[in-house]
């Protein structure tokens, strides 16, 4: 069963986890390849300037397939080395692909985002939550640890102490708490979620595509480098941007008091 439904409207691609009958579990054999292929296609398409990532049905994603864990099948079957390879070659492939997406990603969290589902949402640049959304990293309740890099992802968003509280207790928090903790930027009514995400995506997609991708790259690099290095990267990137037609268009539009039309040139 395929994982994703993909739709493109204008400059925005919408990726939907499409296993609603089982709360959109992730990590089935082939999921990594399918997700990586979708992300690679987007990276190569300069017409795509933003992604909305959401789930079909009542959940964003309930995480790994519990029945597959129980039955020791698929990614969770075989010897310990085989399970390690399953994570590296399948689950990690999906996560690496999402992290490597060059355009902004908005997670429209429509319902529970649990375990792997929560960590996938946290790899998005922006998270908007439905009032029905819930977030949890409940690995310890299953007698396992975050095998998806969640201990690297979550503290960067909500801080060490709150991440530790969620990891060590297995507690699930509601959308209001998630907003208070900085896990999501806004909470909206369930019926308004996709419209809100698409409206934000359209605003982002109106930006010049090369500068948009470079801005995301600079934000990512700034997490790991010194301020001096960040300044050097910014200066070099800025020099390139100053030579683009989109820069000239942006300046002209501001002076002429009109909306710019960025073409990616």
Number of domains in the chain: 2
Q: Is the dihedral of CA 135, 15, 220, 241 positive or negative?
A: negative
Q: SS3 of 108, please?
A: strand
On whether residue 261 sits in a domain, the answer given is: no
On whether residue 126 sits in a domain, the answer given is: yes
User: Cα–Cα distance between 265 and 256 in angstroms, integer?
Assistant: 20
Residue 81: is it exposed, middle or buried by C-beta count within 10 angstroms (0-12/13-18/19+)?
exposed
Q: Do residue 113 and residue 187 come from a single domain?
A: yes
Q: Would you state the pLDDT for residue 75?
A: 87
Q: What is the mean pLDDT of each run of 10 residues along the chain (265 residues)?
A: 93 97 94 96 95 97 90 88 90 95 98 97 98 97 91 95 97 98 97 97 95 94 91 93 92 93 87
User: Cα–Cα distance between 75 and 88 in angstroms, integer?
Assistant: 10
Report residue 30 CA to chain centroid gap: 19
Q: Would you state the pLDDT for residue 78?
A: 86
Where are the alpha helices (H) located in 31-115, listed in sequence order? Answer: 31-44, 66-71, 80-86, 92-99
Q: Would you state the pLDDT for residue 93?
A: 95
Q: Would you state the pLDDT for residue 37?
A: 96
Q: Do residue 115 and residue 216 come from a single domain?
A: no
Q: Do residue 53 and residue 151 come from a single domain?
A: yes
Q: Do residue 107 and residue 120 come from a single domain?
A: yes
User: In this structure, are strands 172-174 and 134-136 parallel, antiparallel, or unpaired?
Assistant: antiparallel
Q: Do residue 232 and residue 150 come from a single domain?
A: no
Measured between its terminal Cα atoms, the distance across the chain in Å is 40
User: Cα–Cα distance between 81 and 92 in angstroms, integer?
Assistant: 15
Residue among 91, 90, 95, 120 nearest 108 (CA): 120
Identify the domain containing residue 246 by its residue range. Answer: 209-256
From 205, 225, 245, the end of a domain falls on 205
pLDDT in tens, 177-230: 999 999 999 999 999 999 999 999 999 999 999 999 999 999 999 988 999 999
Number of other CB atoms surrounding residue 254 within 10 Å: 10
Q: Do residue 179 and residue 247 come from a single domain?
A: no
Q: Would you state the pLDDT for residue 264?
A: 85
User: In this structure, are strands 4-9 and 12-17 parallel, antiparallel, or unpaired?
Assistant: antiparallel
Q: Where does the chain show beta strands of DSSP type E?
A: 4-9, 12-17, 25-26, 50-55, 63-64, 105-109, 112-114, 126-130, 134-136, 172-174, 186-188
On whether residue 262 sits in a domain, the answer given is: no
Q: Would you state the pLDDT for residue 39?
A: 97
pLDDT in tens, 78-90: 889 988 888 899 9
Q: Would you state the pLDDT for residue 217?
A: 94
On whether residue 112 sits in a domain, the answer given is: yes
On whether residue 73 sits in a domain, the answer given is: yes
């Amino acid at each position: 069963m395929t994982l994703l439904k993909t739709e493109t409207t204008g400059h925005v691609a919408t990726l939907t986890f499409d296993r609603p009958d089982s709360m959109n579990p992730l990590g089935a054999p082939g999921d990594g390849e399918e997700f990586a292929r979708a992300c690679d296609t987007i990276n190569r398409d300069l017409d795509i300037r933003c992604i909305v990532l959401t789930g079909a049905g009542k959940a964003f994603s309930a995480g790994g397939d519990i029945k597959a864990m129980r039955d020791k099948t698929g990614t969770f079957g075989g010897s310990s080395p085989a399970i390690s390879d399953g994570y590296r070659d399948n689950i990690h492939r999906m996560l690496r692909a999402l992290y490597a997406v060059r355009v902004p990603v908005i997670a429209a969290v429509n319902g529970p985002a649990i375990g792997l589902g929560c960590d996938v949402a946290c790899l998005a640049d922006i998270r908007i939550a439905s009032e029905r959304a819930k977030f949890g990293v409940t690995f310890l309740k299953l007698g396992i640890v975050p095998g998806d890099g969640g201990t690297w992802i979550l503290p960067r968003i909500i801080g060490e102490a709150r991440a530790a509280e969620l990891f060590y207790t297995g507690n699930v928090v509601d959308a209001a708490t998630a907003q208070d903790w900085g896990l999501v930027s806004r909470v909206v009514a369930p019926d308004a979620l996709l419209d809100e995400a698409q409206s934000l995506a359209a605003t982002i997609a109106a930006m010049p595509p090369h500068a948009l991708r470079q801005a995301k790259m600079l934000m990512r690099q700034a997490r790991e480098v010194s301020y001096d290095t960040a300044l050097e990267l910014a200066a070099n990137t800025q020099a390139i941007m100053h030579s683009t037609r989109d820069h000239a268009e942006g300046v002209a539009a501001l002076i002429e008091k009109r909306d710019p039309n960025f073409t990616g040139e």
